[in-house]
Homo-oligomer: A and B are copies of this chain.
């Protein structure tokens, strides 16, 4: 069972020698950690594709997927992003940075596009989706701020799915909030796309020799505090 060997011998692991998709989710989540230093190596495109496909398949409220994910691999751009993200070293050391960005507002047009998409995929008439459309419009009759907060939460769900996918592919990842959202949005020209950044996922390979955190035990709240099991 390679997965058990892996989780006990964190530091000697060699990504290229590992046959993927053999670890259970628990082994994978134990193996992963918030990687603070990466070694600059590139992720095989097929594995990046798997992570993106998992994110694509993540559910969202009303099925709306009110966000986009910006995929940055260009080293010069990663270095520029680093300057608005507290100079965190893993950004340019990553193979790819996924920037989750939620819809700034939920427009009529965006709901319309979603309805058209359902009609197309399920081969039904748009008319038959009128009730659904009205329900979505009614549920999202909130202020732009409230809707953005809702959309932002959906990006965290997708982030959770993406980071499990990365861990199961033996790709290191770091979820990151520590950046200047306004400046980052400017760098990536997100306002023109109607998007506002919410959170990053840096993807790459741990630099075990230089990352202090790789040797630290994972800290989690006691199960009896985290879970309340009602009788």
A residues neighboring B (CB under 8 Å) = 21, 24-26, 29-30, 32, 34, 50, 52-59, 61, 63, 65, 67-74, 77, 114, 117-118, 121-122, 149, 152-154, 156-161, 163-165, 168, 175, 177, 188, 193, 198-199, 216-223, 225-231
Is B160 a contact of A164 with CB atoms below 8 Å?
yes
Bound-state Cα–Cα, A116 to B71, Å: 38
Residue of B74, B121, B152 touching A231 (CB-CB under 8 A)? B74
Assuming the contacts A160-B164, A164-B25, asked whether A57 and B30 have C-beta atoms less than 8 A apart, the reply is yes
Is A122 a contact of B216 with CB atoms below 8 Å?
yes
Closest to A165 in B: B25
Q: Most B CB atoms within 10 A — which of A69, A161, A188?
A: A161
Is B50 a contact of A25 with CB atoms below 8 Å?
yes
Is B71 a contact of A168 with CB atoms below 8 Å?
no
Assuming the contacts A57-B30, A219-B117, A219-B121, asked whether A65 and B157 have C-beta atoms less than 8 A apart, the reply is no
Closest to A30 in B: B57
Task: Provide the residues of chain B in CB contact with A218, threshold 8 Å.
Answer: 57, 121
Shortest Cβ gap from A111 to chain B (Å): 13
Task: Provide the residues of chain B in CB contact with A164, threshold 8 Å.
Answer: 25, 54, 160-161, 164-165
